[in-house]
């Protein structure tokens, strides 16, 4: 008698649009094998998927999640624990980018709170951040902090595989602020999907990216 393989439990955040929506589409329509896909967005709605295109082995569950609110994150964790026991893969895609010359205090706070849970709040007093040496845009240091956190999380959780990536410059609401991005959302989903489901030979705690913005390859570990 063949046993039915256990479904993998996957959480993708920020699925309302852009790369997150594409990751969700690609998993829902192309994942081979049983999958329970928790599709998390602030609105808690499913992405606009043709039900006929969803693989018969994939079950999608919409979830409301605001990653800047601890109660919302706790509610998601406890729901997954109750319904599934654990989560196999988390693609933490939600993010913001205020493409301004100088971020306002609120934008700076939102960027750190969203992209990196606000560890530098003490330095974002109105008008002080740039004077104290933070770059004019808040986006880049918020993501650099995430690279550092990835190393530490991987070191402290040796049973988990934890990596972070830059998906490239991708034609989404976020990426389009800075010009005309060369990558489609489908191409932007490639590196996150590879890190979550590809054979990356247990490489852990690293930052992955392409060598240049015009490169649409599967990414590689980059010195950081």
In whole angstroms, the minimum distance from the beta carbon of 27 to ligand NAP comes to: 15
In whole angstroms, the minimum distance from the beta carbon of 4 to ligand NAP comes to: 33
In whole angstroms, the minimum distance from the beta carbon of 186 to ligand NAP comes to: 12
Cβ closest to ligand NAP, residue 134 vs residue 169 = 169
Cβ closest to ligand NAP, residue 77 vs residue 127 = 77
| Element containing residue 89 per DSSP (H, E) | strand 89-91
Cβ closest to ligand NAP, residue 34 vs residue 171 = 171
Q: Which stretches of the chain bind ligand NAP, using CB under 6 A?
A: 13-14, 16-20, 41-42, 65-68, 93-97, 114, 166-167, 169-170, 172-175, 181, 188
Q: DSSP per residue over 43-62, as a string?
A: S-------GGGS-TTEEEEE
CA dihedral over 83, 11, 77, 43, signed as positive or negative:
negative
The 10 Å CB-count burial string (b at 16+, else e) for 85-123 is eebebbbbbbbbbbeeeebeeebbbbbbbbbbbbebeee
In whole angstroms, the minimum distance from the beta carbon of 6 to ligand NAP comes to: 28
In whole angstroms, the minimum distance from the beta carbon of 50 to ligand NAP comes to: 20
Structure-block tokens of residue 190: 């490639």
Cβ closest to ligand NAP, residue 78 vs residue 128 = 78
Residue with tokens 């934890």: 162
Cβ closest to ligand NAP, residue 14 vs residue 141 = 14
Q: What are phi and psi of 68, to 5 degrees?
A: -85, -5
């Amino acid at each position: 008698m063949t046993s039915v393989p256990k479904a993998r439990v996957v959480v993708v955040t920020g699925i309302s649009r852009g790369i997150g929506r594409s990751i969700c589409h690609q998993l829902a329509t192309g994942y081979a094998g049983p999958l329970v896909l928790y599709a998390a967005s602030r609105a808690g709605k499913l992405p606009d998927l043709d039900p006929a295109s969803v693989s018969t082995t994939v079950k999608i569950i919409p979830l409301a999640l605001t990653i800047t609110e601890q109660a919302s994150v706790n509610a998601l964790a406890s729901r997954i624990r109750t319904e599934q026991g654990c989560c196999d893969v988390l693609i933490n895609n939600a993010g913001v980018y205020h493409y301004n010359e100088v971020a306002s205090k609120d934008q700076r706070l939102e960027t750190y709170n969203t992209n990196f849970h606000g560890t530098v709040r003490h330095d974002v007093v109105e008008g002080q951040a740039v004077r104290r040496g933070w770059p004019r845009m808040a986006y880049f240091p918020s993501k650099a902090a995430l690279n550092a956190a990835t190393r530490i999380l991987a070191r402290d959780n040796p049973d988990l595989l934890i990596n972070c990536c830059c998906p490239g410059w991708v034609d989404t609401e976020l990426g389009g602020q800075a010009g005309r991005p060369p990558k489609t959302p489908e191409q932007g989903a490639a590196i996150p999907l590879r890190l979550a489901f590809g054979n990356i030979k247990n490489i852990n705690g690293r930052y992955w990216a392409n060598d240049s913005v015009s490169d649409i390859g599967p990414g590689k570990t980059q010195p950081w």
